[in-house]
Structure 1
Amino acid sequence: MSLTNSSDCNIYSDMEPFTYFYYLIFLIGFIGSCFALWTFAHTEDKCKSMNIYLINLLTADFLLTLALPMKITVDLGIASWKLKIFHCQVTACFIYINMYLSIIFLGFVSMDRCLQLIQKCKIYRIQEPGFARMISAVVWVMVLFIMVPNMAIPIQEIQEAPTVGCIDFKTKVGRDWHVFTNFICSAIFLNFSAMVLISNFLTIKLLYQNKYCGNYHNAKKALVNILLVTASYIICFVPYHIVRIPYTLSQSKAITTDCSLRQSLFKAKESTLLFGMSNLCFDPILYYYLSNTFRMKVIKTLGSSKDKRVSSDDTETCGKQAKQTDFSAETLQVFPEDKCDAN
């Protein structure tokens, strides 16, 4: 296939249908994130490793809520030229910062939850609040180190035209760093996807082994929750990364593509990116099912009668909480002190 001049190929048209979904994602995600922020702010127990990872996930989600209105404006074609440049340099990077922070922290959350069930009486380093804060800071520095150069590397002047995309503003150095960034991020995705899937598989296996227990009803509920979390992770992030590599190669002109193929790759990338950003809607549900303290606060806030049955033992000091699990109450009830006979 011969390489088509980018000035003769408009792959950025017909973006308006995507914006309707972005409106919905922004509205649901913004309300959910605000409620989650309010709930965590009024929760006394912020010292458990699970809550630390979830709070970092919530912070990443707010970066995405800042970026979405700008992306909607650009996709509608009503943004000024300077606003489009700003989006390409800054807010578009927020989208990818959120995506990979979400993937990483979901990996830590899945591992933490798995360790809670497999070794209830043993605390691993990753479950210690101090270590959780340290590793979270390292993750933020690492992701920003990868992404910020995409914002900081100078861009080239280019004449305004509807066929111009974000990649066209980049100099050769910018394009090379963009390609490098995408391959590094793909490696992050593969490693932490393995962490998520293996941790959830071990958790599901452990729950399934208790199907003959008297309290299997609780295990079944927890099993469904974990399957839903795993399915949402796969739906949100796997399709995008299948498309991302060939799309990046076509952007960098490492492979020759004609106009129709470039249009198909771009539409596929935007469609799968939409799935990736939908994690903004799912995360508040994740907080509810994975954080016992968050769930208790929500129940109390909504005035449910369940909060009357919450024992005062649920609130303890941070030092003691570091030795406790923070997984769903239903799940923990599956594993009593006297382990049930598998027969």
Structure 2
Amino acid sequence: MMDTSNSSTGTHFTCEVNKDLEPFTYIYWLIFMVGFCGSCFALWAFTWKDNNQKCLSVYLINLLIADFLLTLALPFKIVVDMGYASWNLKIFHCQVTACIIYINMYLSIIFLGFVSMDRCLQTIQSAKLYQIQKRGFARMLSTVVWALVLSIMLPNMLIPIKDIPEREHVGCIDFKTQIGRDWHVLSNFISIAIFFNCSAIILISNCITIKKLYSNKDGEEASNIKAALIKIFLVTAGYIICFLPYHSVRVPYTLSQNDVITDCSLKQVLFHAKESTLLLSVSNLCFDPIVYYYFSNNFRSKISKTFSLKRHETIVIEKENATETAV
């Protein structure tokens, strides 16, 4: 649990927390493969020319770009956590790919908030709010979001790290200078604020949408309204499962990283709680294709046509085989 080393200045204790990560890596591989396939299919669907591209499509495409960033970063984390990475690869992961994972997380949170807000505005159908539902406004807002998230996360990549002796179990925080640690803490608390604000947007937007739809549930389009309600509940549940657990442990974990919490056993518990909940957050890579399916006509149409074509081909082959057998 503890490493002890003697020096001329006394005894130094190091609490090793980032151990026993291999079990997590198998789930990460599964998430990576499922998410990568889903993202590639979404990219294929979104490459269809859409002259009537709506505001919602802009947010979904930005969400897809963020997902591809995550697919680039996950293999590095998996190799490092399995213990197969060289020292230089560990440094690269801590400086670059670990930050990309968090860039994806907060871009996903923000754009899912915008998706919920756009659905709410479509339900309200207010002429006063028409301007913010235009494609140009969505593009401008998306650019601002990317600039905001990158301005928060990129300093974690760019602030110089300190040189430390090679050892088996090393955390990314160990590479950071005091300035790097301070920015790390600041960026964590800004990110938590982003999460709570976007959660409020999603909660309020979905409550308004549900109330509006529920008031018409007995009308002529009752079946469509029920389907829309199910979509909203699914998206909200997916958002909560992916992101709420991680943010419930992030504050105490950040405090443990900076030795505000000093008990070694508690640090180890918080680290594994962080890794477990980060796994749920990364699983948004598998959750996002469900969002594309429910909110993108292109994506849904592509899936329907692809699988209906496959079913048609299967029926034709079966008929041909039956004919050959009869002959």
TM-score, normalization: structure 1? 0.84
| 1:279 to 2:284 alignment | yes
Question: Displacement, 1:40?
Answer: 0.2
Give yes or no for the alignment of 1:264 onto 2:264. no
Cα displacement (A) at 1:10:
1.6
Task: Give the alignment partner of residue 99 of structure 1, picking from 101, 105, 112.
Answer: 105
Bigger helix fraction: 2
Structure 2: give runs of 5+ residues left out of the alignment: 5-10, 311-327
Q: CA deviation at 1:206?
A: 1.5
**Superposed CA RMSD:** 1.8
Question: What CA distance in whole angstroms lies between the structure 1 residues aligned with 2:232 and 2:202?
Answer: 11
SS of equivalent residue, structure 1 residue 213? coil
Q: CA deviation at 1:293?
A: 3.2
Counterpart in the other structure of 1:73: 79
Aligned residue for 2:134? 128
Q: Which amino acid aligns with 2:66?
A: A
Could you report, residue by residue, the CA deviation over 1:260-319 in whole angstroms, capped at 9, with x for unpaired residues? 0000000000000001000000111101101223322332333369xxxxxxxxxxxxxx
Q: Distance in 1 between matches of 2:282 and 2:196?
A: 18
Q: Is the 8 A contact 1:155 1:174 kept in 2?
A: yes
Is residue 2:156 matched to residue 1:150?
Answer: yes
Q: CA deviation at 1:45?
A: 4.0
Rate the CA distance shift 1:91–1:221 in 2: closer, same or farther, 3 A. Answer: same
Shift of 1:6: 8.4
1:210–1:219: 8 Å Cα contact kept in structure 2?
Answer: yes
Q: Which has the higher contact order (CA 8 A, sep 6+)?
A: 1
CA pair 16-6 structure 1, distance change in 2 beyond 3 A: farther
* CA positional deviation for 1:46: 6.4
Quote the residue 2:230 is aligned against.
Answer: 224
Alpha-carbon distance between aligned partners in 1 of 2:298 and 2:92, rounded to the nearest angstrom: 40
AA paired with 1:295? R
Q: 1:290 and 1:173, CA in 2 relative to 1: closer, same or farther beyond 3 A?
A: same
Alignment of 1:292-303 (within 5 A): 292-303=297-308
SS in 2 for 1:8: strand
Partner amino acid for 2:300? R
Q: Which residue of 25, 37, 42 corresponds with 1:36? A: 42
Pick closer, same or farther for the CA change 1:278–1:52 going to 2, 3 Å: same
Shift of 1:122: 5.9
Instruction: Structure 1: give runs of 5+ residues left out of the alignment.
Output: 306-343
Identity of aligned pairs, percent? 66
Asked if 1:177 is matched to 2:196, the reply is: no
Distance 1:20 1:113, change over 3 A: same
Task: Give 1:15's aligned residue.
Answer: 21
| CA shift digits 1:159-180 (9 cap, x unpaired) | 1112320000000000000000
Where in structure 1 do 4 or more consecutive aligned residues deviate above 6 Å? none
Which structure has the bigger radius of gyration? 2
